[in-house]
Amino acid sequence: MSDGGATEERDWGRIVLKLSGEAFAGGQDFGIDQTVVDLIANEVIAVRQALDTQIAIVVGGGNIWRGQTAAAAGLDRSQGDYMGMLATVINALDLQATLERLGQPTRVQTAIEMAEIAEPYIRRRAVRHLEKGRVVIFAAGTGNPFFTTDTAAALRAAEIEADAILRGTHSGVDGIYTDDPKTNPDATLIPEVGYMEVLERGLRAMDSTAITLCMDNAVPIVVFDLLGPGNIRSILEGGAIGTLVS
């Protein structure tokens, strides 16, 4: 998607990048496609080098395990959600290893303590890492069942006083549409929309808890195509990429 002619750089010095677990799978049904992880890591590093933006990342785990799917199969929902949190840690460690292989210092912080492989989530420590130029990856969601990683992204963004959330999509849809563009050829992209309209119309941006948290804390959200080359940088430079929720 082109930048639509917009050139004014946004004053977003600290962002939260939200990655779904499914994005890690690429074209696979499950697991991790390392080619996609390399692509994401290179995009993050390019932004760090060009704009010096502080980047925190929240990862999902749906490429490995989904608590809701497990609950539908008869497993206790809480247990299934905890298993999903562990799946996010696998993705976080892979992304950390890839970023550091490419020269970008990175820290993983988890909402469930597992000291042998990651730091526990401590807000002040996370902010200090960001100030030192490290990428911080938040894993294990909020540490509580029944909350999605969308909500974790909104919560962490509010806690670390991020200027925006960039929510990357992975299925070829490059923003929020009036209808599902895969089934309705007349669906059109919505360039900008308010939080309340997203909630009232049930638009597919983030879950309702996450949208409400962002609204209450005035954190804008950009829904965009994660796999579009240069999209993250274009958004920060003011490009009309995806949909802005504010």
pLDDT tens string 14-42: 999 999 999 999 888 889 999 999 999 99
Q: pLDDT by residue (tens digit) across 105-126?
A: 999 999 999 999 999 999 999 9
What is the distance between the alpha carbons of residues 207 and 244, in angstroms, rounded to a whole number? 16
Give residue 3's pLDDT: 42
In a domain, 3, yes or no: no
- Chain centroid to Cα 33, Å, comes to 17
In a domain, 55, yes or no: yes
Give residue 4's pLDDT: 41
DSSP 17: E
Task: Name residues whose C-beta falls within 8 Å of residue 120's C-beta, 6 or more positions apart in sequence.
Answer: 109, 110, 113
Over the chain, what is the mean pLDDT?
92
In a domain, 144, yes or no: yes
Q: pLDDT by residue (tens digit) across 154-184?
A: 999 999 999 999 999 887 789 999 888 888 8
- The CATH number of whichever domain residue 24 belongs to comes to 3.40.1160.10
- 217 pLDDT above the threshold of 90: yes
In a domain, 74, yes or no: yes
- 142 pLDDT above the threshold of 60: yes
Q: What is the dihedral of CA 95, 39, 22, 239, to 10 degrees?
A: 110
Question: Residues of 5-28 as b/e, b for ≥16 C-beta within 10 angstroms?
Answer: eeeeebebebbbbbbbbbbbbbee
DSSP 6: -
Give residue 73's pLDDT: 75
Give residue 171's pLDDT: 75
Q: How confident is the model at residue 8 (pLDDT cuts 50, 70, 90)?
A: low
- 72 pLDDT above the threshold of 80: no
In a domain, 7, yes or no: no
* Closest alpha carbon to 156 in 132, 130, 181, 184: 130
Domain total of the chain: 1
Domain range for 192 is 14-245
The three-state secondary structure class of 85 is: helix
**pTM of the prediction?**
0.93
Q: pLDDT by residue (tens digit) across 76-102?
A: 889 999 999 999 999 999 999 999 999
Give residue 87's pLDDT: 96
Percent residues over pLDDT 90 in the chain:
79
In a domain, 5, yes or no: no
In a domain, 2, yes or no: no
In a domain, 8, yes or no: no
What is the distance between the alpha carbons of residues 168 and 157, in angstroms, rounded to a whole number? 15
The three-state secondary structure class of 115 is: coil
